[in-house]
Amino acid sequence: MHPDAQFITNLWQEGARLVQQGDLSIPPEVRKVWADSGYGHLQDKGEVAAGQGAYYHVAMMNGRANQLTEMVPVERIYSELGRYIKAGATDYLLVNTSDIRPVLMTAKAVLNAGWSGVPAGGDDAGKAYYQKWSAGEFGPKAAPQVAKVYEEYFKAPAHFGEPIHEYGDQFYHTEARTMMLTYMMDSPLYSIPSQAPKWVPPRIYGTGSPHATGKEWLDQAIKREIDQCGSAQPRWDAVWKQALDAKPLVAPARQPFYRSSVLAMIAINRESNQTLFQVASAIKEAQEGKMNEARASAQEALKALNSIQQAEAAAEYGKWKNWYRGDWLTGVYRTKQMVEIFSKFLTDPLTHLPPPILWDGWEAYYHIMQYEGDRSADVN
């Protein structure tokens, strides 16, 4: 026991809402720690005060944000944490990295801000950080071009909502798999809870949601993803070209890290965007009776998924061999399996179907818990 230990409460999702609605009162001796949304936007709605703190994500397992790549711009990190520093809410900072390897750059930006404060300069401070990071990791010769790559990378994704929520690498795959299942089977689809007691039963996907489900949702999703991903693809293609042009400038000893932290990162998002675009196009074409075009679009989706796996293999150097075998959350391999079944379905609707279940989070936590076993960390 620590006699001067402080109680805190992390106001995650419904916690923040309950406090803001007046339905939950936090005793004054307990410090409030406001969480972000998984996209770097802290959820205090301007209520943050001195003596409080922040729980901040640079990656998040939610089926929509990022798991394999960077997503949260440093400019957003500085803006949000800068608000907290200005308010005196500096008593506590927790950064959640989900899988730490893909988000080293932004994790360091958060921790630097926690220890040393936010640099002056607004958005220019973010650009200066990309330059400094690039010089330190890839050499001064490569730094100006690689810093530009990072700037454009964070502008490339499609996005939704206000404030902006980017399409994270999980989103493309969750959306594509759900669209294919809905086209082949309609609703109901079922989801198996992941971070829940084992006795919690599966539930009908979308139950209680105010949004459309089934074929109504599918029609909306087709239009949205063809538009969103179609608009984003030229941006991803341009960033990819920039990254390839910068590669010869990278210090030889840092080429493997460049392949894994820059080229693979861009390839995963670029080809995932292409996958979702092609899946949406294939379903639309199939609905219109254009089956040859639909099958061709499905094959383009498979090509994009193969490109992701090739980029991942190139990033598995040294001690990172087989690292992407543990991709249970974005689930590139499962999307590929689904596209293969979907392609057969377009030719033969009597083909064997996958189960009407969304269970990726459950599988991930099954493996995590099996790996963890009875081990625990000594925090004393």
Judgement on whether residues 190 and 320 belong to the same structural domain of the protein: yes
In the listed set 80, 101, 118, which residue is the last one of a domain according to the structure? 118
Asked if residue 131 lies in contact with residue 152, where contact means CB atoms within 8 angstroms, the answer is no
| Closest to 37 measured CA to CA, from 80, 69, 99, 91 | 80
Residue 380 included in any domain: no
**pLDDT attached to residue 289:** 98
Asked if residue 110 lies in contact with residue 81, where contact means CB atoms within 8 angstroms, the answer is yes
Residue 185 included in any domain: yes
Judgement on whether residues 82 and 212 belong to the same structural domain of the protein: no
Asked if residue 34 lies in contact with residue 48, where contact means CB atoms within 8 angstroms, the answer is yes
Helix, strand or coil, per DSSP, at residue 344: helix
* List of the chain residues with pLDDT < 50: none
Residue 191 included in any domain: yes
**pLDDT attached to residue 375:** 86
**pLDDT attached to residue 199:** 84
In the listed set 60, 84, 118, which residue is the last one of a domain according to the structure? 118
In the listed set 80, 102, 118, which residue is the last one of a domain according to the structure? 118
What's the domain count of the chain? 2
For residue 61, what is the domain's CATH number? 3.20.20.520
Judgement on whether residues 81 and 207 belong to the same structural domain of the protein: no
Tell me the per-residue pLDDT of 133-181, one tens digit each, with 9 for 90 and over: 999 999 999 999 999 999 999 999 999 999 999 999 999 999 999 999 9
**How many residues make up the chain in this entry?**
380
Residue-range definition of the domain harbouring residue 58 = 7-118
**pLDDT attached to residue 207:** 72
Judgement on whether residues 215 and 286 belong to the same structural domain of the protein: yes
What six digits make up the tokens of 133? 């990071």
**pLDDT attached to residue 1:** 67
**pLDDT attached to residue 379:** 75
